[in-house]
C-alpha cells in the first residue's frame, strides 16, 4: 500500500469517528433541549404564582444560590466561566417566559478597552460576578487603539462602566469629565464610571494590590523594592508609600525609573546595577515573566533572600518563574490573581453599587488559568 492509499484510509476512519461523535453530540443536544424546555415550563409555573401574589420576577438571592450550587457540583472539563455563561442564558430564558410588562429594558453594557486585549480575563471575571449577583449586563473586551473615539463610544452607547488597560491608563484621563482624587494623585485611570452621562475616572489597581499584599504582610516601616516604572508600578508604588513603607524603584530604563521615583519621592536604582536585594518585600510590576515569555524574570532570582515577601503583578501564568524561585527558598508569595481579583471587585462595586463575590471571581479566573 502506498502513502496516498494509507492517507485515504486514515481520512475515512477519521470521518467515521467524527460521524459517530457528531451523532452522540446530536443525541446530547436533543436531551439538553428537552430538559431546558421542561425547566422553562417549571419557571412558567412559578411565574404564574408570582403574578397571582404580585411578586417580582427577578429573585437575585435565588439566582445566586443556583450558581453556587452548580459550581459546587461541577466537574471537568467545563470551567467556571463557561458554566456561568451557559446558565446565565438559561436563567435569562426562564425570566423571559415569566415576563411581566416593563421589565424588558436592554441590559447594561460594560467593556474593557486595551491593546492587546485578547488575553484579558476581565470579561469572564466580570460576567460571572454579574450573574452571581443576579444582575443583568454584558461585559465585552474591545481592542482599542483610539482611546478618544472609544470614550465617545461610552457616551454614545450608554456603556455603564469600562476598564482601561495597556496602553491607555494615562492617555484616557484627558477625555473624562471628572477624575477621582486618588486616580489624579497616582496619575493613571483604570476604571471609568458613566454616571448619567458624566464620565468619572478611578484607579482600582492601587487598592487591589495593597489588599493583596496586606493579606500576607504589614507594610508600615518595611523596605520595599518595586521593579518597574509603568502604569501598574505607579499605582502600586503610590499605595505602598501611603502605607508607610520605604520604597525603592528598580527599573531597566533609567529615565523612566528616575521619573517615577521623583514623582513618588523615593530612591531609584537601575536593575543592571543590582548586586543584592536587601528588602523585606519585592514586587514585580514589569511584564517580565508574562506569557509567552514564561522563562523571563525581572531580576536574577539568585538575588532573592529567603524569608522575604515576593509579589508578582503578572497573573498569567499564575506561578511565574519569579514566584516559583521565591517559594523554593521559603519566601512568602503573593500572586497576580489576588491583585487582579481585588481590583476587579472595586470596579464592580463602583459600577453596580453592589458587593462583588470575590470568591467567585477568583475561582473563575483560576479555572481559566489552569491548563492554559
Ligand atoms: P507598562 O506600563 O507597559 O510597563 C511595563 C514595565 O515593565 C516597564 O517598567 C518596563 O521597563 C518593564 N519591563 C518590560 N519588560 C521587561 C523585562 N524583560 N525586564 C525588565 N523590565 C521589563 O505595563 P503596566 O501596565 O505597568 O503592567 C506591568 C505588568 O503588570 C503587566 O504584566 C500587567 O499585566 C501587570 N498588571 C497586573 C495587574 C493585576 O491586577 N494583577 C494590574 C495591572 C498590571 P522599561 O521602562 O525599561 O521599558
Q: What is the pLDDT along the chain (372 residues), one digit of tens a residue?
A: 666 666 666 666 677 799 999 999 999 999 999 999 999 999 999 988 988 888 877 788 899 999 999 999 999 899 999 999 999 999 989 888 887 555 557 889 999 999 999 889 999 999 999 999 999 999 999 999 999 999 999 999 999 999 999 899 999 999 999 999 999 999 999 999 999 999 999 999 999 999 999 999 999 999 999 999 998 999 999 999 999 999 999 999 999 999 999 999 999 999 999 999 999 999 999 999 999 999 999 999 999 999 999 999 999 999 999 999 999 999 999 999 999 999 999 999 999 999 999 999 999 999 999 866
Answer yes or no: 214 catalytic. Answer: no
What predicted TM-score, i.e. pTM, was given to this entire model? 0.90
**Distance, first Cα to last Cα, the chain:** 41
Measure the CA–CA gap between 194 and 141, rounded to whole angstroms: 17
Q: In what order do the strands lie in the sheet with 191-195?
A: 138-143, 109-114, 161-164, 191-195, 198-202, 178-179
Please choose from 114, 167, 252, 312 the residue to mutate so as to test ligand 1's pocket, defined by most ligand atoms within 8 A of CB. Answer: 252
Report which of 346, 324, 351 is spatially closest to residue 335, judged by C-alpha positions: 324
Residue with the nearest Cα to atom 6 of ligand 1?
A: 286
Residue 6: its pLDDT value, please?
66
E-strand stretches of the chain: 109-114, 138-143, 161-164, 178-179, 191-195, 198-202, 223-227, 246-251, 267-270, 281-284, 309-312, 332-334
Mutating to test ligand 1, I would choose from 122, 204, 270, 287 the residue with most ligand atoms within 8 A of its C-beta, which is 287
* Beta strands per DSSP E along 176-329: 178-179, 191-195, 198-202, 223-227, 246-251, 267-270, 281-284, 309-312
Marked catalytic residue, from 169, 275, 291, 319: 169
pLDDT at 100: 57
Residues with CB under 6 A from ligand 1: 166, 205, 208, 228-233, 251-253, 256, 285-288, 290, 296, 298, 313-315, 336, 339-340, 343
Instruction: Quote the ligand 1 centre to 230 CA distance (angstroms).
Output: 6
Amino acid at each position: 500500500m502506498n502513502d496516498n492509499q494509507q492517507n485515504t484510509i486514515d481520512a475515512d476512519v477519521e470521518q467515521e469517528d467524527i460521524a459517530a461523535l457528531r451523532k452522540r453530540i446530536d443525541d446530547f443536544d436533543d436531551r439538553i433541549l428537552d430538559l431546558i424546555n421542561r425547566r422553562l415550563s417549571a419557571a412558567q409555573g412559578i411565574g404564574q404564582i408570582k403574578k397571582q401574589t404580585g411578586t417580582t420576577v427577578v429573585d437575585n438571592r435565588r439566582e445566586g444560590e443556583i450558581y453556587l450550587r452548580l459550581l459546587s457540583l461541577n466537574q471537568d472539563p467545563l470551567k467556571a466561566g463557561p458554566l456561568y455563561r451557559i446558565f446565565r442564558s438559561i436563567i435569562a430564558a426562564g425570566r423571559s417566559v415569566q415576563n411581566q410588562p416593563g421589565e424588558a429594558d436592554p441590559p447594561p453594557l460594560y467593556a474593557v478597552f486595551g491593546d492587546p486585549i485578547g488575553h484579558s480575563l476581565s470579561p469572564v471575571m466580570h460576567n460571572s460576578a454579574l450573574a452571581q449577583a443576579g444582575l443583568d449586563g454584558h461585559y465585552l473586551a474591545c481592542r482599542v487603539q483610539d482611546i478618544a473615539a472609544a470614550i465617545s463610544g461610552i457616551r454614545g452607547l450608554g456603556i455603564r462602566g469600562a476598564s482601561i488597560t495597556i496602553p491607555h491608563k494615562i492617555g484616557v484621563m484627558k477625555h473624562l469629565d471628572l477624575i477621582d482624587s486618588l486616580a489624579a494623585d497616582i496619575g493613571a485611570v483604570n476604571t471609568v464610571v458613566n454616571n448619567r452621562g458624566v464620565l468619572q475616572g478611578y484607579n482600582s489597581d492601587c487598592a487591589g494590590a495593597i489588599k493583596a499584599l496586606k493579606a500576607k504582610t504589614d507594610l508600615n516601616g518595611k523596605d520595599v523594592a518595586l521593579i518597574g516604572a509603568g502604569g501598574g508600578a505607579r499605582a502600586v508604588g503610590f499605595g505602598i508609600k501611603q502605607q508607610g513603607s520605604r520604597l525603592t524603584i528598580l527599573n531597566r530604563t533609567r529615565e523612566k525609573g528616575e521619573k517615577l521615583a521623583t514623582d513618588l519621592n523615593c530612591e531609584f536604582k537601575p536593575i543592571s546595577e543590582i548586586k543584592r536585594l536587601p528588602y523585606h518585600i519585592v514586587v514585580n510590576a514589569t511584564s517580565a515573566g508574562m506569557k509567552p515569555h514564561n522563562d523571563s524574570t525581572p531580576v536574577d532570582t539568585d538575588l532573592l533572600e529567603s524569608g522575604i515577601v515576593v509579589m508578582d503583578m503578572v497573573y498569567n501564568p499564575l506561578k511565574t518563574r519569579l514566584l516559583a524561585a521565591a517559594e523554593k527558598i521559603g519566601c512568602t508569595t503573593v500572586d497576580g490573581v489576588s491583585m487582579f481579583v481585588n481590583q476587579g471587585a472595586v470596579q464592580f462595586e463602583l459600577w453596580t453599587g453592589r458587593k462583588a463575590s470575590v470568591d467567585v471571581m477568583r475561582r473563575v479566573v483560576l479555572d481559566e488559568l489552569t491548563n492554559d
